[in-house]
């Protein structure tokens, strides 16, 4: 349940990046989560919703882009996506891999709705 701590930090970050008077306009908080980050998507969504409920961010929705594990083989320089947790080059069988992606846990962007035009 470290997803609760992650959701808490995510909301703190959102509050730092959006002026307080515009928090209610936040529609989407978009996150990039790598397969190696050890985050359970449904738990994170649940925690996020629980923490924003009744706050200025009540209408904010968390969207998660899942990032696969990609690596480059040091022996044959092939780039590839890892199928599971076998850290092995599919071409030459080498095990010396540099990870290109998979550890992400990044707040990518925050989408705000436009203000409703003021009634005249």
Partner 1 sequence: MSVITIERRVLEKNDELAQLNRRNLGLAGVHCLNLLSSPGAGKTALLEASLSRLGDSLRLAVIEGDVQTDLDAQRVARYGVPVVQLVTNGACHLEARLVGDALREIDLRSIDLLVIENVGNLVCPAGFDLGENEKVVVASVTEGDDKPLKYPAMFRNASALVINKIDLLPYVPCDLGTLRANALAVNPGLEVFELSSLTGVGLDAWCAWLLRHGGK
- Binding residues for partner 1, rule: CB under 8 A, are 1-2, 5-6, 9-10, 12-13, 17-18, 27, 31, 36-39, 84-88, 95-96, 103, 105-114
How far is 81 from 66, CA to CA, in rounded Å?
13
- Which tokens sit at 65? 């882009």
Q: Are 29 and 60 in contact (CB under 8 A)?
A: yes
Q: In the numeric block, which tokens belong to residue 45? A: 């969504």
Min dist. Cβ of residue 42 to partner 1 (A): 14
Shortest distance, CB of residue 71 to partner 1, whole angstroms? Answer: 11
Residue closer to partner 1, measured from CB, 56 or 105: 105
What is the 8-class DSSP label of residue 37? Answer: S
Contact status, residue 80 vs residue 91, Cβ threshold 8 Å: yes
Determine which helix (DSSP H) or strand (DSSP E) holds 17, and give its type and residue range. Answer: helix 3-17
79 versus 83: smaller Cβ distance to partner 1: 83
Question: What is the smallest separation between the CB atom of 109 and partner 1, expressed in angstroms?
Answer: 5
Token couple for 86: 């076998």
Q: Given the complex with partner 1, which of 75 and 79 has the nearer CB atom?
A: 75
Q: Nearest distance from residue 119's CB to partner 1, in Å?
A: 21
Pick between residue 12 and residue 58 the one whose CB is nearest to partner 1: 12
């Amino acid at each position: 349940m470290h997803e609760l701590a992650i959701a808490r930090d995510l909301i703190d970050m959102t509050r730092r990046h959006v002026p307080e008077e515009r928090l209610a306009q936040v529609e989407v908080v978009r996150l990039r989560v790598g397969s190696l980050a050890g985050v359970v998507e449904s738990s994170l969504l649940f925690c996020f919703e629980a923490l924003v409920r009744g706050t200025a961010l009540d209408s904010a929705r968390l969207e998660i882009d899942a990032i696969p594990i990609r690596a480059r083989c040091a022996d044959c320089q092939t780039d590839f996506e890892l199928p599971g947790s076998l850290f092995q080059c599919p071409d030459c069988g080498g095990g010396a891999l540099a990870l290109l992606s998979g550890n992400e846990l990044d707040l990518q962007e925050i989408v705000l709705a436009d203000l409703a035009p003021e009634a005249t």
